Structure 1
């Protein structure tokens, strides 16, 4: 599976906790395949509900290595993304897509191995209104998280977290420390200690 690294190479849950429990996107956004992972800078996209013209534009506006992070305006019941757009994104060297909406051609997308994180799978088609209002590279809000271009997107089987770019180095270090601490806790558990003792729980 494709993973594009920016330095944070830890699990989404670890990064979320280490960051102070910020940046978690809605839990309904999941990978099409549990092996898919992302670690890449964001390119935000806003598209009108039920219309994917701005996604066609985004594929050519985003820089290689970026991940499309798409706000569909809560128009969930559409398949905005499929095999054709994924092939175009691969050709452009994009890292993947995180979409608060539906995708289709799901079996083929899994076979391609290119990371796709979506709120659902939906066969319903979209329009391409040249007058539809959307944005490329401007901040978007998904759930209670604002995503700006360049923010770090870490995604895996557990979910998706977006970290402000100006905190990436700090959170990288905190995430590594947390990962090391958890490895030590596992070692202690295997030696017979209880979780209540390790975490000083009542």
Structure 2
């Protein structure tokens, strides 16, 4: 799925969440570094040991072009796992973005690069690079209540991040496009004087 649906509609995280049956929303603390960041791409899951980012360096070269890194830090939130150098490496590899349940740093430079970064926090605290650290590439990870597997659909924007199982991606895309078109029609009708109560058939 590309960042846009049929007819050039850019699908939002909220629309995809609703179209999928209100599933897949990651913890609301995970937000973009800049509100204009948006991505829609297949997931490449990464599990790193708390306070260590060696597996992220490996992930940049293991993931395929167009994939987004989905990173589980094992609860070690208070570290800056990702910064300008890794972002430049990921851009050179053609990766789609980063979603991490943990901290990043070099935020000003990351925003200037414009490459989508969605993080739980900003943190200057450095990380280690233990060659024997317990991590994984391409295996399912869990962020909040959602388990994300390789190739699952990730849609992220200013409202948050949603992950949908790959097997449902095409159906959810189509439902999302239809929902966006319906909402566009509703907005036009509201501007013409109709009410939300009438539009939604509310009591």
| Alignment-derived partner of residue 101 in structure 1 | 102
- SS of 2:163's equivalent? strand
| Alignment-derived partner of residue 142 in structure 2 | 141
1:152 aligns with 2:153: yes
- SS of 1:75's equivalent? coil
- SS of 1:94's equivalent? coil
Measure how far apart 1:146 and its partner are: 0.6
| Alignment-derived partner of residue 84 in structure 2 | 83
Measure how far apart 1:5 and its partner are: 2.0
Q: Give unmatched runs, 5+ long, in structure 1.
A: none
Give the number of equivalent residue pairs: 199
CA contact (8 A) 2:53 2:81 kept: yes
Instruction: Supply the RMSD in Å over aligned alpha carbons.
Output: 1.1
CA contact (8 A) 2:3 2:11 kept: no
| Alignment-derived partner of residue 68 in structure 2 | 67
- SS of 1:99's equivalent? strand
| More divergent stretch after superposition (188-197 vs 132-141) | 188-197
Measure how far apart 1:140 and its partner are: 0.3
CA distance in 2, matches of 1:183, 1:93: 33
- Runs of 4+ off more than 3 Å: 6-9
CA distances 1:75-99 after superposition (whole Å, capped 9, x unpaired): 1100000001001111111111000
CA distance in 1, matches of 2:19, 2:76: 32
CA contact (8 A) 2:4 2:11 kept: no
| Alignment-derived partner of residue 2 in structure 2 | 5
| Alignment-derived partner of residue 194 in structure 1 | 195
CA distance in 2, matches of 1:116, 1:27: 15
| Alignment-derived partner of residue 56 in structure 1 | 57
Q: CA, structure 1 residues 148+82, in 2 after alignment: closer, same or farther (shift >3 Å)?
A: same
Q: Give unmatched runs, 5+ long, in structure 2.
A: none
CA distance in 2, matches of 1:172, 1:94: 21
CA contact (8 A) 1:6 1:41 kept: no
Measure how far apart 1:48 and its partner are: 0.7
- SS of 2:169's equivalent? helix
